Every structure is written in structure tokens, then in C-alpha cells.
Structure 1
Amino acid sequence: MPIVAAVDRDGPNDQVLEEAQNLASGFNDEVHVVHVLNQKEFREIEQTSVEETGTTVSMDEIRSFAKEVADEAAKGVVDTYHPVGLVGDAADELVDYVDDNDARYIVVGSRKRSPVGKALFGSVAQSVLLSAPCPVVAVIQDGE
């Protein structure tokens, strides 16, 4: 059963990845590092491609780009991992991936918030917490 670490292109991701590695070590599981390219990021890549080359980008290339983001985030932080790139709504794609792969845990990050905002997580983290078919570990990330 994999431990899924959800990473963001803008980071920070180290605490999420370290927690996923700790869980994977404890259960002798594999870490799947997942980045979901959202609609806004997809549009930016598509627009850049059209402007620079006059052609659109295939979905395989988009998924490959998302996988590279996951791979770059994990390098030097996690010893052994499987990078995964997905495209779509981050919460929905993560929950579907976790369900399809029978994950043991999913680890998500949440940024520090104001006193009022502490009652709420980020929209992706909150949606995953409410929808995931497995336990969710929410890591409150320092800084940024």
C-alpha cells in the first residue's frame, strides 16, 4: 500500500515528503509523490506553447511535466519514491488516485494561517481531509 505525498509546485514540500517517508518506513511501504497540475497551470503551459511553437501540448506531455514537478520536489528528500503527474482539480485527482491505488495514508501540506484562519485549512487540504478514503496526515508547513 503506498503512502501518497501531495506536493505543490511552489513548495515548501520538504515537511510533507519527510512525513511520508517516515510513514512509509514504518509500514515498509512505497512513497508515491504526486503533483496535480491545475487548470490555471495547464492553461499557462498551453498558451506558452501556442505562442512559441504554434502548436498545442498533448495531455501526455502535460502529465509528464506534472510528473517532473513531483520528481524534482522529492529529489534529495525521499530515498525511494514513485513520481506521479496528474491534471485536473487537485483535491478530486488526489482522492481518486488514493482510492485507485489503495493508499494507506495521504500526506498533505497546509500553510500557517491567521488566528481566524486556523479553523480552516487550504481548500485542497480541506477537501482531501473530507473526501479521502484513507487517513490523511496534514502537515502545517513553516514559512512561505
Structure 2
Amino acid sequence: MAIETILLAVGAGDTDRLDRLAEETIDVAGPTGATVVIGHVFTKSEYNDALDNLDFDVTAEEVSGDDVARRHATVRDIVKKLEEADVDYIVRGAVGDYADELVALAKDIDADRLLVGGRKRSPAGKAVFGSLAQEVMLESPCPVTFVRADTK
């Protein structure tokens, strides 16, 4: 199975693992020539905050999740790393439940691989708070690579 499209899930909580996410993505996308779709999901509250913080003129036009994601600092940092590695990319943003929207995006773009970041969490922590990465892994239509931040 050829890898043509990679969904790289990034969010505000991924700042401590951006280098690893970029490195792992480039390691797959570079040799395969795959296009990377950088997916950023916002809750409705995060979306509204981002509209305010990024000075969008919401009276002039409707602002899509894609528009907000393109201007988000986390996405801009990943874009810079992909451009330096000469990897093709597209930015997609969505508003809603993180896991549901990432799985829907993976289906929509017919992703061949999904990369998601996460942190180590105890079994009790997963039971109480849930795990976005675990939910995505269980529901994803394609193989998922879990990228953990460096533990140095």
C-alpha cells in the first residue's frame, strides 16, 4: 500500500512535541513523496478565542476552521519545518470534538497514515480523563503512529 496522504494531527497541547511530530512526519513523507495534511481541531470555545486573539474580522466574512488553523502558531511552526524539508502540505482546520473531527478528516482526505501526539498517562488517568490518542487509534480508518514528546 503506497503512502500518498498523511494526516498530521496538531494542537495547542503539542508544543512540547512539535519537533518529534515534524521529524516523524518528514521521515515518512520525504521518501514516499506523500502530501501532509496538517489537521488542527478547535473546540467551539478555542475557535472563538482564536478568532479574537488572531484579529480576524468576523464582520467582513465567515472565518473557516482552515483559516484559523493556518494562522495558529503551532501550525505555522510545523509548516516551517515541512517547508525546510521540501514536503508538500495542506492545512485543514475543524471545530468540534477532537477525536471525532480527526477521524472524520482522515476519512475525508482518504489518509493512508495518521500521526498523533500524546503524553504518557497512567491507566487511572486514562479511565478518568480519557485519551484522545487512544480514541483516534481505535476509530481511525488508517494506521496511526503515536508520537510521544522526548522524555529527556
TM-score tier, shorter chain, comes to 0.7 to 0.9
Q: Is the CA contact 2:10–2:75 (under 8 Å) kept in the aligned structure 1?
A: no
Q: Measure how far apart 1:4 and its partner are.
A: 0.9
Compared CA separation, residues 129 and 120, structure 1 to 2 (3 A): farther
How far apart, in 2, do the equivalents of 1:16 and 1:120 lie? Answer: 26
Q: 1:13-49 deviations in whole A, cap 9, x for unaligned?
A: 2211221111112322111111111222024346x48
TM-score (norm 2): 0.73
- Asked if residue 105 in structure 1 is aligned to residue 113 in structure 2, the reply is yes
Tell me the number of residue pairs that the alignment of Structure 1 and Structure 2 aligns. Answer: 140
Root-mean-square deviation (Å)? 3.1
Return the letter of the residue paired with 2:36: V
How far apart, in 2, do the equivalents of 1:91 and 1:59 lie? Answer: 24
Percent of aligned pairs sharing the same letter: 35
TM-score (norm 1): 0.77
Structure 2: give runs of 5+ residues left out of the alignment.
Answer: none
> In the alignment, what sits opposite 2:76?
72
> Residue 12 of structure 2 aligns to a residue in which SS?
coil
How far apart, in 1, do the equivalents of 2:48 and 2:71 lie? Answer: 18
Structure 1: give runs of 5+ residues left out of the alignment.
Answer: none
> In the alignment, what sits opposite 1:134?
142
